Chains A and B, each alone.
Chain A
Amino acid sequence: EDQVTQSPEALRLQEGESSSLNCSYTVSGLRGLFWYRQDPGKGPEFLFTLYSAGEEKEKERLKATLTKKESFLHITAPKPEDSATYLCAVQAGANSKLTFGKGITLSVRP
């Protein structure tokens, strides 16, 4: 059974204080690992897709990396508007279903 574990559950940062969010996964035949941002009362917003170990993608203050066991979402010099829940999901085998982690709630204080 595919499993996704995100840590920590919650993270509070001061504006400008860089940090990383972790997503550990156990799957058979990874087809893709996805990061989403979700604001309260809204649907998840797509951030990144990673397909193979060693791959990295960047967007503004965010950078996602992937190894064979985990993915990190690095946040550089975060701003209050980066406060949200960050979800990690995997897609494995021939199935296009996503398995989600529980999410990491990030709060950035000004």
Chain B
Amino acid sequence: GAVVSQHPSWVICKSGTSVKIECRSLDFQATTMFWYRQFPKQSLMLMATSNEGSKATYEQGVEKDKFLINHASLTLSTLTVTSAHPEDSSFYICSAPGGAGVGETQYFGPGTRLLVL
């Protein structure tokens, strides 16, 4: 199956700083990638859709100025949490579809645990 990586796997930062998380598709190209966050014992909540070469599409209630998304190439999307606060502490996971059509399986990265002190 297709492989998606994330970096870093763990990050601890001070309140007010910005944190960048990378999502890479290792053996396939992805014009679209998705960013989720997951709180303990809860399911995945879609934050935004990252589109290569164009602006990201954010879900209702997600602050686009706080969660900056850049889809720099066909294999890389980045999520930057700006001016992070303790309530931003969560598990962030990205995914990418393994093909171009709707109905294609989405493959997930291993996740990034963010802790804001």
Closest 3 CB pairs of A and B: A43-B108, A31-B103, A32-B103
Residue of B nearest to A29 (CB): B102
Chain B residues near A (Cβ < 8 Å)? 1, 4, 6, 32, 34, 42-44, 46, 49, 91, 93, 95, 97, 102-111, 113
Q: How far is the CB of B3 from chain A (nearest CB, A)?
A: 11
| Residue contact A87 to B105, C-beta cutoff 8 Å | no
**Chain A residues with CB below 8 A from B95, complex form:** 43-44, 98
Q: Which of A49, A102, A103 contacts B105 (CB 8 A)?
A: A49
- Can you identify 23 A-B contacts, CB atoms within 8 angstroms? A32-B105, A41-B113, A42-B110, A43-B95, A43-B111, A44-B95, A44-B108, A45-B108, A46-B1, A46-B105, A49-B103, A49-B105, A87-B44, A91-B103, A96-B97, A96-B102, A96-B104, A96-B106, A97-B34, A97-B46, A98-B106, A100-B43, A102-B43
For the complex, what is the distance from the CA of A45 to the CA of B44, rounded to whole Å? 13
Q: Nearest Cβ distance between residue A91 and chain B, in whole angstroms?
A: 6
Evaluate contact between A94 and B102: CB separation under 8 angstroms.
yes
For B6, the chain A residues whose CB sits under 8 A away are 43
Smallest distance from the beta carbon of A24 to chain B beta carbons, Å?
15
Given A31-B103, A41-B113, A94-B102: A100 and B44 interface contact (C-beta under 8 Å): yes
Q: How far is the CB of B103 from chain A (nearest CB, A)?
A: 4
